[in-house]
Amino acid sequence: MDREGTHERRRKRPPRPLDAQRLEELALAYVARFATTAAKLEGYLARKLRERGWDGERPADPAAIAARFAELGYIDDEAYARARAGGLLRSGYGARRIDQALRGAGVEEDLRISARPGERARREAALTLARRRRFGPFAGEVPERDRREKQIAAMIRAGHGFDDARAVVDAKDVAEAKQWVAEAPAEEEDR
């Protein structure tokens, strides 16, 4: 069977331009599939409008759809910020990387501030990263100066402060690193 000409016959037709109903359906499908923020939904809808065009009676308003979905509870920026911050902390990322991720998702500053981890959570995240990457006391041997500096730099890139990175990498053993975490102020623990 000759298949050379089939590609020419099966050209994709350009997608139909969006109308109000189809834009709403795209928005619903997006929030059903992904945890998102109002800003991310608005950006997604704007991108779809650029790609496919608009064929509605009134001008498209992605911001109004995102605002309505937030009112209906389909989108909750605060819950998104808490969940995203918690996930990044459990992965070993620091406060700076969490703030960057939330800013990139369009979370407002007051919600980013409320999602910032407390001292104990920041220290636990630093310890988690060190354990995962076998830094400091988790390496099994005392690292040489250049290796130690690379470990500290990697922790800083992961969003940890210099003092936290140095405290974990310079810990003599795992017990000392865990003690450093336990010494964190308790009043910020449940933040």
| pLDDT profile of the chain (191 residues), mean per 10 | 60 85 95 95 96 89 96 96 96 97 96 95 96 92 88 97 95 94 72 44
Q: What integer pLDDT is reported at residue 63 of this predicted model? A: 95
Q: What integer pLDDT is reported at residue 47 of this predicted model? A: 96
- Residue-range definition of the domain harbouring residue 59: 20-75
Q: What integer pLDDT is reported at residue 35 of this predicted model? A: 93
Is residue 52 located within the same domain as residue 130?
Answer: no
Q: What's the structural domain count of the chain?
A: 2
Is residue 48 located within the same domain as residue 109?
Answer: no
Say if residue 75 is exposed, middle or buried (CB neighbours under 10 Å; 0-12, 13-18, 19+): buried
Is residue 92 located within the same domain as residue 183?
Answer: yes
Q: What integer pLDDT is reported at residue 191 of this predicted model? A: 44
Q: What integer pLDDT is reported at residue 187 of this predicted model? A: 58
Q: What integer pLDDT is reported at residue 189 of this predicted model? A: 44
DSSP 3-state of 18: strand
Does residue 41 sit within a domain? yes
Length of the chain as a residue count: 191
